[in-house]
């Protein structure tokens, strides 16, 4: 379970941000890195929502094309 969660964390925040997180934990300065991680995840979420919207739009077009047999 640890390995799965660790890989998931790395996929979410990336290696560079993870290195900053390790340094911040070592120096007991987690407030600044926390804000940076939250901002990164929010940007990731917005981009993911945008891609999902495009996917659903294209899926709807394909459904209409099948119905009209184009």
Q: How many domains does one find in the chain? A: 1
Distance CA 64, CA 68 (A): 6
Does residue 53 surpass a pLDDT of 90?
Answer: yes
Q: Which residue has the tokens 């987690």?
A: 30
How large is the average pLDDT for residues 40-66? 88
How large is the average pLDDT for residues 10-34? 82
Please report the sign of the dihedral spanned by the C-alpha atoms of residue 64, residue 67, residue 68, residue 69. Answer: positive
């Amino acid at each position: 379970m640890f390995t799965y969660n660790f890989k998931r964390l790395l996929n979410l925040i990336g290696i560079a941000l993870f290195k900053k997180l390790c340094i911040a934990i070592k120096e007991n300065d987690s407030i600044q890195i926390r804000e940076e991680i939250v901002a990164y995840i929010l940007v990731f979420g917005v981009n993911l929502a945008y891609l999902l919207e495009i996917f659903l739009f294209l899926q709807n077009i394909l459904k209409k094309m099948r119905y009209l047999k184009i």
